[in-house]
Amino acid sequence: CKRACIRQNDVPDYGYRTDILEVKLDHGPEFGSDTTFMPILCNQCNNPPCVRVCPTTATWKDERTGIIVMKNEACIGCKTCMTACPYNARYFHEGKRAVDKCDFCWETRLSKGKAFPACVEACPADVRVFGDLADTESRVFSLLHTPGKLVWVLRPETKAIPNVFYVNH
Ligand code: SF4
């Protein structure tokens, strides 16, 4: 998924739009420990701190898609949005001379008619599920509304109201 994202979105080696965290889980002396992998990316927040702080409105939440988008020409490189993001989801792209981050491949794929972001299409384990949460027939909707499923978001205390959800198996 990382490689697909890099190829698709011209991500340099000093930045990332999505990354995979390795999390060690300790189950106590009887059960030992194991490692789990957690994808991270821009959470396309409903109350995005990055948008609030941008002095040039170079970034905003697109009303139709809900995706937080960037207008590179309007970015002055102040990096305030990078500091404001509680998910460390932004980096400064030297080539674009603008801050860059995941836009669910809106610019490079979805706006051109593709159904899925590159990472979702590339994942061999069906870990990343992408869709329209407002569509009650969608797979994401049913995944998040299955009784007994544990659903969580990262750093809920920030009140950014993220739209990236994690579920148990
Ligand atoms: Fe903005 Fe960070 Fe939320 Fe993405 S995760 S919308 S960059 S605050």
Over the stretch 123-148, which tens digit does the pLDDT of each residue have? 999 999 999 999 999 999 999 999 99
CA of 104 to the centre of ligand 1 (A): 12
CA of 128 to the centre of ligand 1 (A): 18
For ligand 1, atom 4, the nearest C-alpha belongs to 42
Q: What's the per-residue H, E or C state across 86-136?
A: CCCCCEEECCCCEEECCCCCCCCCHHHCCCCCHHHHHCCCCCCCCCCCCCC
Mean pLDDT of successive 10-residue segments in the chain (169 residues)? Answer: 98 98 91 93 98 98 97 98 98 98 98 97 96 95 93 97 93
| HSE-up of residue 111 (Cα within 13 Å, Cβ side) | 11
pTM over 0.75: yes
CA of 119 to the centre of ligand 1 (A): 18
Helix (H, G, I), strand (E, B) or coil at 59: strand
The set of protein residues with a Cβ atom below 6 angstroms from ligand 1 is 42-45, 48-50, 68, 85, 87, 89-90, 101, 160
